[in-house]
Amino acid sequence: MADNPSNSKSKDAKYALGTQRGPLPLEGDDVGLIEKSKSTSLEAGMGTRAQRFRRHWGRFWCCYALGGVIFLAIFLPIFFLVILPAIAQRVVDGSTLVLVHADVLQPRPDSIMLRIDSALDLPLKIPVRIEPITMSLFNRERPANNTWAHAYLPGARIYGNTTLATNSTFTPLNVTEWTEYVRSVVFEPHAPLSVKGSTTAYIGKLKARVTMDKDIHQTTLNSFEGFSITDPKLLLPALNDGTNLLANATLPNPSAMTLEIGTTTLNLYSNTTLLGNVTLSNLTLKPGNHSTPVRGHFDLRKLLANLGTVLRDQREAIKSGYLDLTTVGTDVVYDGVRVPYYTDVMRNLTMTAQVPLGKLVENTLRGVLVRNGTTVLGGLGLVAVPEYVR
């Protein structure tokens, strides 16, 4: 239908619907317009992922900021107060602590001079700094109040396997608990040294409170297994102080400890027959095997009076060319003062040594025949003195 210009310009035309619409589109044109409109609308609504994110962030950034603040306010205290200390404690618990060396010197009735060197190996291969520690040394299997001493460990930087050393210092003792520890060291093959202490550890700027609670495993004295008496010699006549027996005693020390014991007196037995005593002057046990001079009194009258019993008890040993002599401690004195804890332990320690009969007879005869570099019988021209005696 064609436009009617006259109608469109009439007075009432402006009130007619569709007069300003213009000509209607041809058939098919409306579909293209609709598709174009829809296409433009979809592209404007979706956009790229970055565009969508920017629009979303622009609308809700304050919510995310508030949520982040709340998260950090909750997480950071938990991290520093719970997670970090737990991680640090787990590292300490997984570490290895080994006794390198210990000095137990100058024993007094209620104190010792103590130094402990230990090696700490952390599984964490980054430097860790620790503050000084007061370590409690205790008997883990004992009930409460089982600490026998304290050791003071200076601050250190730990990286990998690191040696930590205490200073040599006079250390007061809980004598009851220390006696129990000494007993375990003397009688057991692997008595642990239990230590406990807390300190602050630093990894860079981060720090955490940690507790070291460890049993330091070590090799201990095992009742002096391998004890022996060598080079025995009877002095005829005895010296002015009554000494008539000289020898060397070997007390093996497989531990990493140097133990200053003091002057130690031991009784000598053949089975249950007391035959005398020996004294080890200023006994100090260093790591390894070493001999200590022995001076003593061998009661020959007691031996003759009980000769039948002694021969019966020693029958098998004599066949092998030895005497089986048993020693039991009676007293330990350091610097003129009895050391109660060493005395108590040595009184309960029984050691048996095979004394070579051949060496005993040889050394005794040499002492009888050779005095002051001359032979008693050689001067009379009655015997020829063997070369080894001279």
Listed in order, strand segments (DSSP E) in 173-318 are 193-203, 206-216, 228-234, 245-250, 257-270, 273-285, 291-298
Please state the length of the chain.
Answer: 390
Select the more confidently predicted residue: 26 or 168: 168
Q: Is the per-residue pLDDT at 63 higher than 70?
A: yes
Residue 41 has pLDDT above 50, yes or no: no
Place of tokens 């019966």: 312
- Ranked by mean pLDDT, which of 18-22, 128-132, 284-288 comes out on top? 284-288
Domain 222-372 in the same topology as domain 95-216: yes
Q: Which is higher by pLDDT, 34 or 238?
A: 238
Phi, psi of 382 (to 5 degrees): -95, -30
98 pLDDT band, cuts 50/70/90, is confident
Question: Domain boundaries in the chain?
Answer: 95-216, 222-372
Q: pLDDT tens digit string along 112-125?
A: 999 999 888 887 77
- pLDDT: which is higher, 201 or 331: 331
3-state SS assignment for residue 204? coil
H or E segment to which residue 172 belongs? strand 169-172
Sign of the Cα pseudo-torsion (178, 179, 184, 187, in order): positive
Say how many CA atoms lie within 13 Å of 289 toward its Cβ.
Answer: 9
Contact (Cβ atoms closer than 8 angstroms) between residue 277 and residue 265: yes
Distance between CA atoms of 389 and 213, rounded to whole angstroms?
61
Write the CB contacts of 49 (distance below 8 Å, at least 6 apart in sequence).
none
- Does residue 311 surpass a pLDDT of 50? yes
pTM of the entire predicted model: 0.74
Percent of the chain with pLDDT over 90: 47
Q: How far apart are CA 278 and CA 252, in angstroms?
A: 18
User: Does domain 95-216 sit in CATH 2.60.40?
Assistant: yes
CB 71 within 8 A of CB 93: no
Is the pLDDT confidence value at 19 over 50?
A: yes
DSSP reduced 3-state for 29: helix
Mean pLDDT of the chain: 82
The CATH class for the domain spanning 222-372 reads: mainly beta
Confidence band (pLDDT; 50, 70, 90) for 79? Answer: low
Determine the pLDDT at residue 388. Answer: 36
pLDDT value at residue 31: 47
Collapsing DSSP to helix, strand or coil, 43 comes out as helix
